[in-house]
Amino acid sequence: MWDNADQTWASQAACATGQPDALFVRGAAQRSARELCFGCKVRMDCLADALSSQTSFGVWGGLTERERRALLRRYPEVTDWASWLRREDDELIAELRVQRAPRIIARTRAQV
């Protein structure tokens, strides 16, 4: 399903043919930039890779920098993000899978 060792998923990304700079914006522009991600078939691969590498900038897997930092802080014990994102028993993961903007920050704060 997800194989982050093989980066071929990146060539299948919805953003692969667009301008890369479009995903490296700041502030409110990030919300617009991530809209492209919600219909992407490799979005979870992208997100797992960004979380595993702790990518600091840009929109990856439909999440902004701030949302990814919130996940990393909330789940410091996770070492394999691809496996974690495949779990079926977690409401937050289900929220990440939907094809719309997830409420990551609100959910991670509520779980603390």
- What band does 19 get if pLDDT is binned at 50, 70 and 90? confident
**Cα–Cα distance, 54 to 36 (Å, whole number):** 21
In this predicted structure, what is the pLDDT of residue 3? 46
- Read off the pLDDT of each residue in 40-66 and give the average, rounded to a whole number: 93
In this predicted structure, what is the pLDDT of residue 106? 62
**Cα–Cα distance, 83 to 58 (Å, whole number):** 23
pLDDT in tens, 83-101: 999 998 888 888 888 888 7
For the chain, percent of residues with pLDDT exceeding 70: 86
- 47, 35, 64: which is closest to 10 by C-alpha? 47
Contacts of 17 (CB under 8 A, 6+ apart): none
pTM value is: 0.82
For residues 61-86, one letter each, b for 16 or more C-beta atoms within 10 angstroms of the residue's C-beta and e for the rest, the string is bbbbbebbbbbeebeeeeeebbebbe
**Cα–Cα distance, 110 to 81 (Å, whole number):** 21
In this predicted structure, what is the pLDDT of residue 2? 46
The mean pLDDT value of the chain amounts to 84
- What band does 108 get if pLDDT is binned at 50, 70 and 90? low
